[in-house]
Amino acid sequence: MLSSNINGEFDWVKIVWNPIVPSKIATFHWLAIQGGVQVKEFLSYRHCLRDSSDDKCVWCANYVESIEHLMLHCSYSYRVWSSLFNWWNFNWVIPSSIVDFSIEWNNGMNIRASRFWALIGPATLWAIWLARNEVIFNGKYTCSTIIASRIKIKVFQWIVNAKMCPSHQFYIWASHPWELL
């Protein structure tokens, strides 16, 4: 994939392996791009599900749980993404795949916003995955608004640890993040 990335114009290493993003989250993002995340579609293909009807999305139960559906196209995921885009006062068109998401996510922002924005994408993918696992393994559903709030907090922790802004600016981050640019 590194050699076939839009004629060498897209630097996967720089985007996916951001030094501020924890390695387990960057690894998850990379696995999602590679199609290696064990969503129900993956498990069904490997004959790991009891019944073929078990491959439906845990939130909407209308579609096969593929990585694209789970992370981008499910109505639950869409609400998480919409909350984050509203927070930044941005509009967004949902990409068709995780690869397209990764490319568009990191190319669509100006230089100043991208230093924060590059962290929000992987954090959101990870948070959606954790929320999905809470449903499957613990039967616990979490509101998409709470997931979006957790993402804001987690990314702010990374930003503070990377010394991109001081910790006392959380209120600004949570309400008007563009003011930190």
Q: Are the C-beta atoms of 12 and 2 separated by less than 8 Å?
A: yes
Distance CA 135, CA 157 (A): 26
Residue 109's pLDDT is what? 62
Kindly tell me if the per-residue pLDDT of 91 is higher than 90: no
Distance CA 151, CA 77 (A): 13
Kindly tell me if the per-residue pLDDT of 23 is higher than 70: yes
Per-residue pLDDT, averaged over 71-95, amounts to 92
Kindly tell me if the per-residue pLDDT of 7 is higher than 90: no
Residue 110's pLDDT is what? 62
Burial class (CB in 10 A: 0-12, 13-18, 19+), 95: middle
Residue 142's pLDDT is what? 95
Q: Which residue has the higher pLDDT, 14 or 17?
A: 17
**Residue 153 belongs to some domain of the structure:** yes
Query: Under DSSP, is residue 43 helix (H, G, I), strand (E, B) or coil?
Result: helix
State the residue range of the domain holding 44. Answer: 12-180
What percentage of the chain reaches a pLDDT higher than 70?
A: 90
Give, as one character, the DSSP assignment of residue 131.
H
Residue of 131, 10, 138 lying closest to 81 (CA atoms): 131
pTM: 0.88
Give residue-wise pLDDT tens across range 116-128: 888 999 999 999 9
CA dihedral 136, 141, 143, 148 (to 10 degrees): -30
**Residue 138 belongs to some domain of the structure:** yes
Kindly tell me if the per-residue pLDDT of 174 is higher than 80: yes
**Residue 73 belongs to some domain of the structure:** yes
Residues 6+ apart with CB under 8 A from 105: 117, 118, 121
Kindly tell me if the per-residue pLDDT of 108 is higher than 90: no
Residue of 67, 173, 68 lying closest to 115 (CA atoms): 173
For the chain, the first-to-last Cα distance in angstroms comes to 33
The one-letter amino acid at 175: S
Residue 13's pLDDT is what? 75
**Residue 105 belongs to some domain of the structure:** yes
**Residue 137 belongs to some domain of the structure:** yes
Residue 16's pLDDT is what? 86
**Residue 7 belongs to some domain of the structure:** no
Residue 52's pLDDT is what? 65
**Residue 159 belongs to some domain of the structure:** yes
Q: Which residue has the higher pLDDT, 4 or 152?
A: 152
Alpha helices in the chain (DSSP H): 12-16, 23-34, 40-45, 67-68, 75-88, 98-107, 111-138, 144-161, 170-175
Backbone angles phi, psi at 141, to 5 degrees: -95, 135
Backbone angles phi, psi at 56, to 5 degrees: -80, 155
**Residue 135 belongs to some domain of the structure:** yes
The count of structural domains within the chain is: 1
What percentage of the chain reaches a pLDDT higher than 90?
A: 55
Residue 5's pLDDT is what? 44
